[in-house]
Structure 1
Amino acid sequence: MTVRNLESLFQPRSIALIGEASDTDRRILRNLLSEPFQGPVMPVMAGIDSMGGVPVFPGIDDLPAVPDLAVITRPLEEVPALITALGERGTRGVIITRAVPRDYTREQREALEQTILEASRPHLVRVAGPGSSCISVPHRGLHASSLPITLAAGKAALVTKSSAMAGAALRWCRENDSGLSHIIHIGAATDVDLGDSFDYLATDHRARAVIVYIERVRRARKFMSALRRLARMKPVIILKPPQVGEEEIDDFVYDAAFRRAGVVRVDDLEELFSAVEILDSSRVPGRDGPLAIFGNSRSLGLLASNALRRHDSSPQQLAPESNEALQELARRNASSHNPLDMGVDAGADAYDRALEILGKDRRISGILALKAPGASDDGDAVAEVVARHAKRLRKPVLAAWDPSAGEAGLRRLAAAVPAFSYPEEAVRAYSRLLQYRRSQTLLMQTPPSLPEDFTPDYEQARLILSAALTAGRDHLNEYQTGRLLSAYGIPCVDSRRANDPEEAAAVAAELNQPVALKLMSPEVQLKSQAGSVALDLTGPEAVRAEAEAMLARLHELRGEDVAVDGFAVQPMTRRDGAFELTLGVRPGGPFGPVLYFGHGGTETEAIADWACGLPPLNMHLAREIMQRTRIYGLLVDSGLRKPDLDAVALSLVKLSQLVIDFGAIESLDINPLWATGHGVLALDAGVGIQPQRGDPAESLCIRPYPTELNERIELPDGQCLNLRPVLPEDGPQLNAMVERTPPEQVRMRFFQALKSLPQELAARLTQIDYDREMALVITRDGIPGRAPLLGMVHISADPDLEQAEYDIMLDPSVAGMGLGPMLMHRIVDYARQRGIREIYGEVLRENEPMLKINEAMGFRIEPSSDDPGLMHVALRLDGSGA
């Protein structure tokens, strides 16, 4: 559904507990009453007058007030009727604690879920569960849980579908004197699911970070859209263990999805809870610099350094002035003091001086203080020094502390900084935090323009696939595959079709060079195993003889009635020094098709060096997939053999567009793809197909670029321009438009005078989620990223599609040509088509041209309640009036 009414689940003012006076009910009531919840808690149970000192009411109609939230523990068959009764009274949040029985069939489970949804939807009642064992929000005094542990307030939220994980989090918080801002156990997620939870937490300032435990994902597009939005606003750490019986590719797909969203994946519970500790008590690194390591133990310093190397990082050089200043503290002379060994007897003064020096080093992204027991025995004083500096510094400070160095000091230290027993634990937690920052930086980078103006032959590809599907085929033959790839600009070996041995011989004579011969039959997939491929055939007679032999072998294996499509005759190709790569498309379960890249050739499976990513791709995302393979390092460092890596990345982008356009493509494997300095060449490929159902874009978990909105427009002076949705590559041209616009006009758009756009802002405006946002740009002709931008209108909708805020900007060169009203009409039409109910904006009072456009279009215009210098403008799109 939406985020609407989720405040009734997470911020209720009154609660009803509807149960049976069981032990579970008593535990839940005790938890509700044990927290400082400010509103009434009203049990509803038959046959008793009170429970836990609280009056009990016999039925929902007997309640003295309408509960915002109802916790239902009664049998599942009674739940839909209870939801209906509660919804009619005005309740908007329900928690169903009972889980669906394990012996329910899939049909029974789906029928129950549908009945619950039908009961909740008329009144927009939001439902957590069935099987939701814990909704806990400490700062609201809410602990709606059957688990026997209460929760202290913290800064990170936990979202999970696992009751065991919710219980583990509660136990960990109690044992480590820590807390969480929320525990949201969604259970079966019939209504409120992971996406809804992410959307809610994205705007809750008390959740500074979010940790997630999942096992499977449903509603993948909603999940990805909400997760990407959440990860842009705060750190997200995910634990997703591989499933028993799950294919390796399935886990690779999840990994690709998490990378695309910009979240950090951890491997185990220890890491997940370490992330809670560091997020709860530390700052996210402000830059990607070295971690400064210092302490009173050379051994601990070496362990920390080695741990950094294992996490794809290593201690880097400090600033020269820092190294020079630290020499006075160092146990021995060294060219670099990272890690810094101050000697076992180093006391509070040494730690104080080291932190003062390191705190001034702008290269450093974080500091790790190490403490082993020493002769000075002033661990408590050292801990106090570290805690004091941690509060002062703007970069994260961590500690690895031997408890025997001082228990009291360790407690004070742990209250101020993430404190770990071992340096490896501290480094691992810090590395995950730095990984989050790096992933966000990666996503904010502007992708380069395509190295060529890529325009696929959509109609040729459609005809090829349509003909094969009409013939009842589940894969394309070599000839069809080559034509399909060529239609999307991927160079292939020249493949010529021959209907019989005579035609094959004639083709060979025409080519007049050694050829490869392949028999094409829908019943033969592995041609090498069926004797249906021959290489290096010279002359027509050799080709004719081999073609006849292939037919004879096939008839012997499959009978005389076996279907034969003919032969593919291909000139033998040699490229000395070419790298053999593989790339293609595979099914990705709930996430739709995924693209992969890796080491190719006959030993692909044994080498197992590949990485995958989700469409749609641009050049930047394609390169990121390539960089995650081992062979990429060889490609980069291959000297004179270095291949054209842009051509390889572009091939991935082209395959991405192919699967976006055609849901009929179930799988596609190119192996090998030869890569040289002159480009790429697909030597062999196979394409699996299936009947296409509906819009192919709907099978993708990330909504692709909406090409249907592309339009050619003509200005009154005869100029022809392009109107299209924004692309990530447009970032530099958007900034160029801002730079050539007078400061006063820039202020009308951004409410401040900017000479240029910060990179992060330019990325946010151009790298959008087409599921939730839209930006239309006007450009001159040219490749995106190079073609000048002349105007842009942008809307950002809330998850409910209830409202969308707009903003607009035009290049001064097109002022007075009617582009402002045209862009506004286009974006309003788009918002209406998407089902958005209202579009609104904030306009400076002195921006009279914009206000005139608003008035002409029927916007309601009134002074802003937040700022006297602004006017609030709004237009209803659903016909409900102003």
Structure 2
Amino acid sequence: MSIRNLDCLFKPRAVALFGASKERGTIGAVLSRNLLNSGFEGPVMPVNPRHAAIEGVLAYPDAAALPLVPDLAVIATPPASVPDLIGALAARGTRAAVVISAGFGERGDADGLALRQAMLDAARPHTLRICGPNCLGVMVPAVGLNAGFAHTRARPGRLAFVAQSGAIVTSVLDWASARGIGFTHFVSLGDMSDVDFGDMLDYLAGEGDVRGILLYIEAITNARKFMSAARAAARLKPVIVVKAGRYPASAQAVASHTGALAGHDAVYDAAFRRAGMLRVDDIGGLFGAVETLGMGPPGKGDRLTVLTNGGGLGIMALDALFAHGGSLAQLSPETVARLDAVLPPTWSRGNPVDIIGDASAERYRKALAVLLEDPNADAILVLKCPTAVSAGDNVAAAVITELKERRARVFTCWLGEEDARKPREMFGAARIPTYYTPERAVHAFMDLVDYRRNQEALTQTPPSVPEDFEPDVASARATIKAALDAGREWLSEPEAKAVLAAYGVPVVAPKIAATPQAAAAAAAALAGPVVLKILSPDITHKSDVGGVVLDLRAPTAVREAAEAMLERVGHALPQARIDGFTVQPMVERPDAFELLVGLTEDPDFGPVVLFGHGGTAAEVIADRAIALPPLNMHLARAAMARTRVHKLLKGFRGRPAAALDDVALTLIKVAQMAIDSADIIEVDINPLLADEFGVLALDARIRVRRSDAPPARRLAIRPYPKELEETVSLPDGRSFVLRPVLPEDEPAFVGLFSKLTQEDIRMRFFAPKRSLTHESAARMTQIDYDREMALVLAQPGLAGRAEIFGVVNISADPDGERAEYAILIRSDMCGLGLGPLLMRRIIDYARQRGIREICGDVLRENKPMLKVCELFNFTRTPKPGDLGVIEVRLVL
């Protein structure tokens, strides 16, 4: 739903407990003890008609007897009683409930699902928010709220933890308590009938005391809401996630390479990466990542230098580094010379920097001082094994002293127990990350690398698309409709290639032949060798049944091959319908790579794009990357870079590099198919040949299913709203394009800013600004179209190359109720009526989106903007505490 009324869930003024009990060993008794003995300062009202008092507090027989309206109700009564109880409380003014009770269709039973719906129906008219059902409860230590039945309470801290599983909640609570880790919020969501991960991310992102958000996810409920909230939260604070169910026990049979390779867990990986979150493997990694991200400056790259007093330790660290995809920093000649001056001649003279087992604290300090100046190292891992020569705490003190005046990314690992206990305490007090094993330390470093990459992806400016392709959507839809009208699920190869051609993907166009003789005649009309393929709606993997023959060089050879093919296929698949054959030129590009580009539909996240190594062994090689549409050049290239074949595509041993931009553009075009047509549920281009001259689709399959839903609705990330594009003409005769902003517009925004006077800058930003930073420009251009909109007035042409003259944007709250607006117009374009034009368009858009109020802050001396607001009937109110600012509001 939204964050509406979640304050009543986490900051209630009064709480009522239904199902309170004093019978030992019952959930009601544990709930009563926790709620009444955790320091909550507001009234807690136990409800149970069989008891006069519980834990020394007066009990009430029912909801009607409560002396005041509770903000929060904690419910642990039989499931059949819950809907009526929710309805009665909501009518009185209760706005949040934690439903501990189970029995609401967890196993899919109809009666339980009916109770669940009845509960939601009772809550919805009053926007009462429900956490659960079938949950452990919630804790907010700062306000003394312990509305759950865990065996211990959470310590106060700066982390928020949210999970579905009650067993995980209690385990993590116990694990964290033993290590002194505290929380701002500790939340069990249970079956997520209402409050889900998207709601929690939106709420916690706005809580200033929350330093990091930790999630344990089994599944999500609303992919678009989750992605929108996650991307917004991850811009503000670290969001770290453990996803359970990485290896499903069985996989559904699929009919294409794309379907076989696009595993469900890999899609979650892609979603977390796209949202700027960090995924870790286990609970220890969850808290370890918090420690890593919270200490020291952010990393710059993946090059690690290892400083050690034992060669074996260094090798263990290197093994872990390479296993996780990191790089070993190469010591510069200057660094080696400086180390020679401070280390004994027997040191390793390379990385790992082995300073020998008798290394003293001073030797560690001097070596670390040199390595900190090395330009090739992005981080340093300091390792120490116990020796009788130097005590662990003395070496730790030397390391801490050397780092005291520096901002450096240094990780430490002191092995052992007795010798390492005090150094670990010292490093913790100095806020220097420390770990029990070299492998865990390296893993933490690579967590940091992954997090930085994901964060950069949120603000990285993509290059302009190298070609302005306009797909022939009408032609593609006509081809798809013909197949659906004929009752077919798979397009034929000629039909699939026609759809690809409509999207500008280069294809080898086949000729259709009904008989072996017709196939021979088709081959005679083509110059050079040909490829013969079987044409059947029942055969998707043609090569598996002998349905493909290559390099046929004469019509007679084609006829004979076709006759033999009919016999082979008929023997292998006697029930298959045979429509004939396709004949196409034999493509000879010896330096080309065989790639796979595909599209499939994930049950949670909708369409996803797949890229990887192609050919008949694609599933065996299993070299692939997944990305969520929509895509731009940066996202497409990033997906390609996550595969092994990408290294080959860059060229090696005299083999020229492939046209990587053409490959990336193919991914963008396939993603666009999903955006334009809800009928397309699977695309499989295999092989896609790629060499220095471009790409060429040799074979393709497309699976379709009739759908009346808007295509963009099934995407986890709202795509560019092309329907908002329009051409506008100014009174002086000039024409411009008014369209939504694109990430590629960042350079044009910098150009727009450079054309502003200092006075206009002050009016817009309320302070002088010399330039528009990359971070600010990226934030203005890389928006989530679900909760923000920015319309730019631009020259016609490709985004990133077209000049921008004005922009209007609104940013809505997570409820979609209220949005703040801002307008920026180039100084030399003022006085042409652009302010009213942009304001009118954004008001129309806000109405269409269901936003109820537009607001903004305007400097009192900004007469032109106040005049625009007056034109559209905004109300004006002096801002409390700031006499120089006027609050303007328009109720829609």
The TM-score normalised by the length of structure 2 is 0.91
CA contact (8 A) 1:284 1:396 kept: yes
Q: Aligned residue pairs: how many?
A: 875
Determine which of 700, 703, 709 is the counterpart of 2:715.
700
Query: Which digits, 9 at most, give the CA deviation of each residue in 1:86-105, with x for residues without a partner?
Result: 21222111101123378843
CA drift of 1:692 comes to 1.9
Structure 2 partner of 1:148: 151
CA contact (8 A) 1:327 1:333 kept: no
Determine which of 26, 29, 33 is the counterpart of 2:32.
29
Query: Which digits, 9 at most, give the CA deviation of each residue in 1:322-365, with x for residues without a partner?
Result: 87777676455769786656666666666777777777889876
Moved more, 197-206 or 151-160: 151-160
Determine which of 845, 855, 876 is the counterpart of 1:830.
845
Aligned: 1:68 with 2:89: no
Output aligned runs, 1:204-283, within 5 Å: 204-241=207-244, 242-245=246-249, 247=251, 249-279=263-293, 282-283=295-296
CA drift of 1:190 comes to 0.3
CA drift of 1:523 comes to 3.0
CA drift of 1:809 comes to 1.1
CA drift of 1:546 comes to 5.3
Aligned: 1:200 with 2:213: no
Structure 1 partner of 2:256: none
Query: Which digits, 9 at most, give the CA deviation of each residue in 1:780-827, with x for residues without a partner?
Result: 121111111111111111110111111111123432222221111111
Structure 1 partner of 2:598: 584
Structure 1 residues 103 and 737: alpha-carbon distance in aligned structure 2, compared to 1, 3 A threshold: closer
Aligned: 1:437 with 2:441: no
1:420 partner amino acid = Y
Moved more, 457-466 or 6-15: 6-15
1:454 partner amino acid = F
Which residues of structure 1 form unaligned runs of 5+? 878-882
2:607 partner amino acid = P
1:113 partner amino acid = R
Structure 2 partner of 1:160: 163
Structure 2 partner of 1:310: 323
Aligned: 1:517 with 2:532: yes
CA contact (8 A) 2:609 2:628 kept: yes
CA distance in 2, matches of 1:10, 1:128: 11
Q: Tell me the secondary structure at the aligned position of residue 647 of structure 1.
A: helix
Aligned: 1:745 with 2:760: yes
Determine which of 723, 729, 738 is the counterpart of 1:723.
738
2:7 partner amino acid = E
2:860 partner amino acid = R
CA distance in 1, matches of 2:103, 2:530: 63
Structure 2 partner of 1:880: none
Structure 2 partner of 1:128: 131
Moved more, 313-322 or 193-202: 313-322
Determine which of 274, 280, 285 is the counterpart of 2:298.
285
Moved more, 697-706 or 186-195: 697-706
Structure 1 residues 661 and 578: alpha-carbon distance in aligned structure 2, compared to 1, 3 A threshold: same
Aligned: 1:571 with 2:574: no
CA distance in 2, matches of 1:801, 1:455: 33
CA drift of 1:13 comes to 2.0
Structure 1 residues 858 and 40: alpha-carbon distance in aligned structure 2, compared to 1, 3 A threshold: same
Query: Which digits, 9 at most, give the CA deviation of each residue in 1:677-734, with x for residues without a partner?
Result: 1111111111111112311111111111111111111121222211111111111111
CA distance in 2, matches of 1:19, 1:176: 33
Aligned: 1:488 with 2:503: yes
CA contact (8 A) 1:803 1:837 kept: yes
CA distance in 1, matches of 2:397, 2:87: 58
CA distance in 2, matches of 1:861, 1:224: 36
Moved more, 521-530 or 39-48: 521-530
Structure 2 partner of 1:617: 631
CA distance in 2, matches of 1:747, 1:298: 60
Q: Tell me the secondary structure at the aligned position of residue 668 of structure 1.
A: strand
CA contact (8 A) 1:743 1:753 kept: yes
Moved more, 354-363 or 421-430: 354-363
Q: Tell me the secondary structure at the aligned position of residue 542 of structure 2.
A: coil
CA contact (8 A) 2:787 2:813 kept: yes
Moved more, 583-592 or 322-331: 322-331
Structure 1 partner of 2:88: 85
Output aligned runs, 1:633-644, within 5 Å: 633-638=647-652, 639-644=654-659
CA distance in 1, matches of 2:858, 2:55: 56
CA distance in 2, matches of 1:557, 1:300: 57
1:311 partner amino acid = H
CA contact (8 A) 2:347 2:353 kept: no
Determine which of 835, 859, 862 is the counterpart of 2:874.
859
Q: Tell me the secondary structure at the aligned position of residue 212 of structure 1.
A: strand
CA contact (8 A) 2:460 2:778 kept: yes
Structure 2 partner of 1:680: 695
Moved more, 178-187 or 520-529: 520-529
Query: Which digits, 9 at most, give the CA deviation of each residue in 1:466-494, with x for residues without a partner?
Result: 11111111111121112111100001012
Structure 2 partner of 1:19: 19
Structure 1 residues 33 and 368: alpha-carbon distance in aligned structure 2, compared to 1, 3 A threshold: farther
Output aligned runs, 1:203-602, within 5 Å: 203-241=206-244, 242-245=246-249, 247=251, 249-279=263-293, 282-283=295-296, 285=298, 287-288=300-301, 293-294=306-307, 299-316=312-329, 330-332=343-345, 368-375=381-388, 379-380=392-393, 394-395=407-408, 398-401=411-414, 402-405=416-419, 407=421, 410-417=424-431, 418-498=433-513, 503-530=518-545, 532-543=547-558, 565-602=579-616
CA contact (8 A) 2:299 2:449 kept: no
Query: Which digits, 9 at most, give the CA deviation of each residue in 1:802-853, with x for residues without a partner?
Result: 1111111112343222222111111111111001111111122222111110
CA contact (8 A) 1:330 1:340 kept: no
CA drift of 1:235 comes to 1.2
Aligned: 1:604 with 2:618: yes
CA drift of 1:109 comes to 3.8
Query: Which digits, 9 at most, give the CA deviation of each residue in 1:107-137, with x for residues without a partner?
Result: 3343222111111112111110012203112
CA distance in 1, matches of 2:312, 2:742: 51
Structure 1 residues 96 and 396: alpha-carbon distance in aligned structure 2, compared to 1, 3 A threshold: farther
CA distance in 2, matches of 1:336, 1:626: 36
Structure 1 partner of 2:10: 10
Q: Tell me the secondary structure at the aligned position of residue 883 of structure 2.
A: coil
CA distance in 1, matches of 2:565, 2:383: 72
CA distance in 1, matches of 2:151, 2:314: 41
Structure 1 residues 528 and 346: alpha-carbon distance in aligned structure 2, compared to 1, 3 A threshold: closer
CA distance in 1, matches of 2:67, 2:362: 64
1:190 partner amino acid = S
1:469 partner amino acid = L
CA contact (8 A) 1:330 1:337 kept: no
Query: Which digits, 9 at most, give the CA deviation of each residue in 1:414-465, with x for residues without a partner?
Result: 3443432223223322321332122111331111111111111111101100
Structure 1 residues 243 and 542: alpha-carbon distance in aligned structure 2, compared to 1, 3 A threshold: closer
Determine which of 111, 114, 119 is the counterpart of 2:114.
111
Which residues of structure 2 form unaligned runs of 5+? 252-260
Q: Share of identical aligned residues, percent?
A: 47
CA drift of 1:199 comes to 0.6
CA contact (8 A) 1:749 1:808 kept: yes
CA contact (8 A) 2:329 2:377 kept: no
CA contact (8 A) 1:317 1:336 kept: no
Moved more, 318-327 or 200-209: 318-327
CA drift of 1:501 comes to 5.3
Q: Tell me the secondary structure at the aligned position of residue 511 of structure 1.
A: coil
Moved more, 736-745 or 722-731: 736-745
CA distance in 2, matches of 1:391, 1:132: 46
